[in-house]
Structure 1
Amino acid sequence: MTQESAGADAALSAVAAVTGGAVGAAISAFHSASNFLDGLMSGPSTQSFHVNKDNVLKAGTIIQDQAKALRRALVSAQHDLRVYVDGNSAGEVSANIAGLWNRRLTTDDDSYTGRIEKYVESLEHLGLQLKESAKQYGFTDEEITTVFGKTK
């Protein structure tokens, strides 16, 4: 967690302490969910598997498919991840809280969206490494293009 995110979390906690009621309950729920997601996202980030000539194309297919599916899901969900405030009924505290939530969820360097984006990029990089391995194993350009697509 960056200092900026820690500051946002501290501000949310301060607002929860002052406001109490529904806003305080919402902030507490957000903190619980945030802590849970932090635990999920900070789990083991690397796994190893053995790639050889017999499985490099299959591994490439799996990695490429997962990266594409996750990127599509992230793009389609980004609008729904933002917290919006109705300007007619929201007070300044609600607008501030929405801003803090949005930073934590979508815009901070270590936001959940940012972390997922970095994970997708790591999958895409792994796909490129598998493509290079397939070339070294002697697969034809057609076989490699079928799995990994055309070179840009």
Structure 2
Amino acid sequence: MTQENAGADAVLGAAAGLAGGVMAGAVSAFKAASSVMDRISESVAGGGTQKFHVEKDTVMQAGKVVHDQMLILNEAYARTAYKLRIVTTDGKVTSDVVTAWNDRLVFSDDSYANRIQAYMKVLEGLSDQLKASAQQYGFTDEEIKTTFRPIA
């Protein structure tokens, strides 16, 4: 966890103590999600060096799985990214908490939104590599277009 993340967690933790039950539950859930996203981010960052082997009879299957997951994530992100930033005027949550929350979700370099985008880039790169492998294995343009359909 970075120093910036620790500071954000401290602000969120303090807010939980002040606001009581509902906020404490939300902050606990946020911290748990933060921990999971930190582990995923570490996996993605290390994933660029991982290799796997495909052959002619598996390249299209692997390509379909990776490419479909990239499309699903891309579509879900496009539908929800604008909702990640929170705004509150109810007076129950301080502006420091809102700022810390938004930094963690959207604005900081290692925000969840940026981590998701980085993961989508990894999937896109892997999909492109599998597409190139399929071309090298001699699959037709039509077969490749069917498996590796464009991003909407």
TM-score (norm 2): 0.77
Match of 1:145 in 2: 145
Give the match's secondary structure for 2:94.
Answer: helix
**Deviation at residue 124 of structure 1 after TM alignment:** 0.7
| Aligned: 1:29 with 2:37 | no
Count of aligned pairs between the two proteins: 143
Q: Taking every aligned residue pair, what percent have the same amino acid on both sides?
A: 43
Contact 1:103 1:111 in 2 (8 A): yes
Q: Is 106-115 or 4-13 further displaced after alignment?
A: 4-13
Structure 1 residues 22-71: Cα deviation after superposition (integer angstroms, max 9, x where no partner): x2545533442233223322054447654110111121112111111111
1:60 aligns with 2:63: yes
- CA drift of 1:140 comes to 2.3
Unaligned runs of 5+ residues in structure 2 are: none
Distance 2:54 2:15 in 1: 51
Structure 1 residues 77-86 or 125-134, which shifts more? 77-86
- Which is higher, the Rg of structure 1 or of structure 2? 1
Aligned to 2:104: 104
Deviations, residues 83-113 of structure 1 (Å, cap 9, x unaligned) = 2112xx427x622211211111122111122
Alignment partners' CA distance in 2, 1:123 and 1:36: 25
Q: Does the C-alpha gap of structure 1 residues 25 and 48 become closer, same or farther in structure 2, counting only changes over 3 Å?
A: farther
Matching residue of 1:79: 82
Residue aligning to 2:91? 90
Output the TM-score relative to the length of structure 1: 0.77
Q: Please list every run of 5 or more consecutive structure 1 residues that lacks an aligned counterpart in the other structure.
A: none
Query: Within 2, Cα distance between the matches of 1:138 and 1:127?
Result: 17
8 Å Cα contact 2:105-2:111 kept in structure 1: yes
